[in-house]
Amino acid sequence: MDNFSYCSPTKYVFGRGAENHVAQELASIGATRVMIVYGGGSVVRSGLLDRVKVQLDAANLFHTELGGVEPNPTDPKVREGIALCRETGIDTILAVGGGSVIDTAKAIAAGVPYQGDFWDFWAGKETIREALPVGVVLTIPAAGSEGSGNSVITLLDGMHKISLRTDFWLRPKFALLNPELTFTLPAEQTAAGIADMMAHIFERYFSPTQNVEVTDRISEGLLTAIMTDAVKVMADPRDYEARANIMWSGTLAHNGLCGCGRKEDWVSHFMEHEISAVYGVTHGAGLAVILPAFMTYMANHRPEKGAQLARRVFGVSENDDRLAALEGIGRLKAFFASIGLPLTFGELGIDRPNIELLVRKLHENKGELIGGYMTLGPTETEEIYRLAL
Amino acid sequence: MDNFSYCSPTKYVFGRGAENHVAQELASIGATRVMIVYGGGSVVRSGLLDRVKVQLDAANLFHTELGGVEPNPTDPKVREGIALCRETGIDTILAVGGGSVIDTAKAIAAGVPYQGDFWDFWAGKETIREALPVGVVLTIPAAGSEGSGNSVITLLDGMHKISLRTDFWLRPKFALLNPELTFTLPAEQTAAGIADMMAHIFERYFSPTQNVEVTDRISEGLLTAIMTDAVKVMADPRDYEARANIMWSGTLAHNGLCGCGRKEDWVSHFMEHEISAVYGVTHGAGLAVILPAFMTYMANHRPEKGAQLARRVFGVSENDDRLAALEGIGRLKAFFASIGLPLTFGELGIDRPNIELLVRKLHENKGELIGGYMTLGPTETEEIYRLAL
pLDDT of residue B41: 85
Taking each helix axis from N to C end, the angle separating A378-387 and A267-279, rounded to the nearest 10 degrees, works out to 70
Residues 6 or more apart from A18 whose CB is under 8 A from it?
A137, A176, A177, A178, B3
Beta-carbon separation of B9 and A14 below 8 A: no
Q: Residues B213-258: pLDDT tens digits?
A: 999 999 999 999 999 999 999 999 999 999 999 999 999 999 999 9
Q: What is the mean pLDDT of residues A224-243?
A: 98
Maximum CA pair distance of chain A? 64
In chain B, residues with a C-beta closer than 8 Å to the C-beta of A1 are 15, 241, 244-245, 248
CA distance A228 to chain B (A): 8
Average pLDDT for A248-256: 98
Are B290 and B266 in contact by the 8 Å Cβ rule? The answer is: no
Q: Count CA within 13 A, CB hemisphere, residue B245.
A: 27
Judged by CB atoms closer than 8 Å, whether chains meet at A218 and B216 is answered as no
What chain A residue is nearest to B245 in terms of C-alpha separation?
Answer: A214
Decide if pLDDT at A159 tops 90.
Answer: no
Would you say residue B358 has pLDDT above 90? yes
CA-based angle B38:B41:B45, to the nearest 5? 115
- How high is the pLDDT of residue A158? 87
Task: Write the DSSP string, A111-153.
Answer: HTT-SS-THHHHTTSS-------EEEEE---SS-GGG-SEEEE
B6 close to A12: Cβ distance less than 8 angstroms? yes
Give CA–CA dist B333/B290, Å, rounded: 11
Task: Please tell me the predicted confidence (pLDDT) of residue A129.
Answer: 96
pLDDT at A294: 98
Question: Model pTM greater than 0.95?
Answer: yes
Nearest to A214 among B2, B225, B261 (CB): B225
Distance from CA of B223 to the nearest CA of A (A): 9
Q: Which residues are registered as beta bridge partners of B376?
A: B370
| Residue A179 pLDDT > 90 | yes
- Chain A hits for B15, Cβ within 8 Å: 1-4, 261
Give the pLDDT confidence score for residue B387 in this predicted structure: 98
Which of A218, A222, A223 should we substitute to test contact with B (largest number of B Cβ atoms within 10 Å)?
A: A218
Residue B39 has pLDDT above 90, yes or no: yes
pLDDT, averaged across chain A = 97
Residue A284: strand, helix, or coil: helix
- A177 exposed, middle or buried (CB, 10 Å; 0-12, 13-18, 19+)? buried
Q: Is the pLDDT of residue B159 over 90?
A: no
Q: Which residue has the higher pLDDT, B72 or A127?
A: A127
Task: Give the model confidence (pLDDT) of A333-369 as tens digits.
Answer: 999 999 999 999 999 999 999 999 999 999 998 999 9
- The span from the CA of A187 to the CA of B59, in Å, is 57
Res. A189 pLDDT band, cuts 50 70 90: very high
What pLDDT is recorded for position B98? Answer: 96
The residue-averaged pLDDT of A173-196 equals: 97
Mean pLDDT over each residue of chain B, to the nearest integer: 97
CB neighbours (10 Å) of residue B5?
Answer: 17
Mean pLDDT of B260-288: 95
Q: Does residue B49 carry a pLDDT above 90?
A: yes
Q: Model confidence at B343, in pLDDT bands (50, 70, 90)?
A: very high
pLDDT in tens, A307-336: 999 999 999 999 999 999 999 999 999 999
HSE on the CB side for B16, CA within 13 Å? 6
Mean pLDDT of A112-136: 97
Q: Where are the alpha helices (DSSP H) in chain A?
A: 22-28, 42-45, 48-58, 75-88, 99-111, 119-122, 187-205, 213-235, 240-254, 267-279, 283-301, 304-313, 321-338, 355-366, 378-387
- In single-letter form, the type of residue at position A140 comes to I
Residue B102 to residue B94: CA distance in whole angstroms: 8
Residue A277: pLDDT band (50, 70, 90) is confident
What pLDDT is stored for residue B245 in this prediction?
Answer: 98
Q: Which positions 251-280 of A are in contact with B (Cβ < 8 Å)?
A: 252, 257, 260-261
In chain B, residues 153-212 whose CB comes closer than 8 Å to chain A:
210-212
Q: What is the pLDDT of residue A101?
A: 98
- pLDDT for the residue A374: 98
Residues B175-198 have a mean pLDDT of 97
| Segment A266-285 mean pLDDT | 94
pLDDT, residue B277, reads: 87
Is the pLDDT at A160 greater than 90? The verdict is no
Q: Is A18 on the interface with B (CB under 8 A)?
A: yes
The pLDDT tens digits of the residues spanning B243-253 come to 999 999 999 99
Rounded Cα gap, residues A219 and B192, in angstroms: 27
Give pLDDT, residue B158: 87
Q: What would the mean pLDDT of A278-305 be, rounded to a whole number?
A: 97
> Which of A169, A217, A239, A311 should we substitute to test contact with B (largest number of B Cβ atoms within 10 Å)?
A217
Residues whose CB is less than 8 angstroms from the CB of residue A149 and which lie 6 or more positions away in sequence, other chains included: A165, A166, A167, A168, A169, A170, A171, A256
Nearest to B248 among A210, A224, A260 (CB): A260
For A288, A332, B284, the CA distances from A246, given in Å and listed in that order, are 17, 17, 35
Q: Which helix (H) or strand (E) holds B154?
A: strand B150-155
Residue type at A335 in one-letter notation: F
